[in-house]
Amino acid sequence: MKISSILKQKRTWSIMLFYVLAVLIRVVSTRFETIDPSHVKLWGFVGGLSPLIGAIVVILALRRKMKTSLFGTSVTKSILTLAVPFVLFGIVDYKEIGLCLWLLFVYLLYAFFEEVGWRGYLYSELIGCKIIHRLLLTTLLWFFWHCRAWQIGDVGFFALLFLASFGLDKLIRDTHSLILVACFHGLFNFYFKCLSDPSHWSSIVCLVITIMLWLYIWYGPKVKICWR
């Protein structure tokens, strides 16, 4: 058997193990949400951990490698990316700054747990595939990991995840930064679940400015800083 065939088989089994672990932990946590409703948020958080746990197990047990990292190609840009939403939303919601920043932190952390699995481990395994194939496979796995029984036929949700996969794949391909993709993922979840009231126009402005600053930080003109 050729070495290339062995490597392909190992990659396939690695992806399968990662996904089985992620789905299994997700299903168990969802089950406990109904059994123990008093701790529904805790079990929901455990479900979000599942892609991270699956990735860690596969990387350590099967010695797989990730082609992405926490800071990617720039530590400074990643730290700035993380700081921007906390500063802007802290200013906008200064009256309830503690609650606002805490919720933002939770959503970003939850998104980071997911992204280590999807745009970290899985992207690294599929990096040699054609982009459209990688996007379709990632979206399919992401969709069935997310959805409950009644969401199986939700074409709109699948389309949304495909668009998200397209954008996040582009970001991780260019920057290799898990912080950046987690920030995009987490910020949209934070906005739509906490701040989507149309009357909160300041939150909409803050969301747009945050995204524009992120894109400028990573894709804007390079500025040389001279220390004198």
Taking residues 18-25, report their average pLDDT.
Answer: 96
Total number of domains in the chain: 2
Taking residues 13-20, report their average pLDDT.
Answer: 96
Find the domain containing 149 and state its range.
65-228
| Residue carrying the six token digits 């290339």 | 4
Please list, in sequence order, all residues whose beta carbon lies within 8 angstroms of the beta carbon of residue 137, skipping any fewer than 6 positions away. Answer: 126, 129
**What is the average pLDDT score of the chain?**
86
Last residue of a domain, one of 49, 64, 79: 64
Whole-structure pTM value: 0.87
Taking residues 178-199, report their average pLDDT.
Answer: 86
Co-location of 111 and 26 in the same domain: no
Nearest-angstrom CA–CA distance, 63 and 68: 15
Q: Which of 1-15, 26-40, 113-127, 140-154 has the highest mean pLDDT?
A: 113-127
Co-location of 58 and 69 in the same domain: no
Asked whether residue 179 carries a pLDDT value surpassing 70, the answer given is yes
pLDDT tier, 40 (very low <50, low <70, confident <90, very high otherwise): low
Last residue of a domain, one of 36, 64, 92: 64
Co-location of 16 and 57 in the same domain: yes
Higher pLDDT, 99 or 153: 99
Last residue of a domain, one of 64, 98, 115: 64
Taking residues 214-221, report their average pLDDT.
Answer: 92
